[in-house]
Amino acid sequence: MSNVDFDMLTRFAIKVNQSNRERAERNHDLCSPLIWLQEYCTVKVDVGRGVGKTDFIVGNLTDKDVVLVFNRNMKNIIQNRLNDGKEMRNVIDVKTFSPYNMGLKSPEYIFIDEPSLVFNNVRYEDIMRFFVDEKKYQTVVALGR
């Protein structure tokens, strides 16, 4: 699988998720905003290593989005690939996460690079509750195992 194939696959999965979410809208009021985000607004894609997961994030990350990574090294890798010369506050190392040092409170997309590593030492709910916005159309894109 090439990076182009992975990019197309992931974009298609996001589109399917967003279409399904529109059909499931009647369930929105039956669950908390965090559960809605987790159960209806999350796309999970894992097809192995070296297929372009991080490249997909870098290529699609905007100033309206957040990316969660598992350590400072991964944060530096993403920031270096962005080539803008400045540290982005919306690339967040969960090991040093603080709601006071994040730049964006209500992102459109929440990218998670290797979720099993990101949520190895911190609970999903403890991080995601700072980003969920029930008034906004958000999508979580979890890439990796």
Structural domain boundaries of the chain? 3-143
| Residues 140/41, Cβ–Cβ less than 8 Å | yes
Q: What is the pLDDT of residue 10?
A: 97
Q: What is the pLDDT of residue 145?
A: 92
SS3 at position 100 = coil
Q: What is the pLDDT along the chain (145 residues), one digit of tens a residue?
A: 568 899 999 999 999 999 999 888 888 888 999 999 999 999 999 999 989 999 999 999 888 899 999 999 999 999 888 876 555 678 999 988 877 666 667 899 999 999 999 999 788 988 888 888 877 889 999 999 9
Reported pTM: 0.90
Q: What is the pLDDT of residue 43?
A: 97
Residue carrying structure tokens 């529109």:
22
SS3 at position 17 = helix
CATH class of 3-143: alpha beta
Measured in whole angstroms, the distance separating CA 77 from the mean position of its chain's CA atoms is: 16
Q: The tokens of 71 are what? A: 């350590």
Q: What is the pLDDT of residue 112?
A: 96
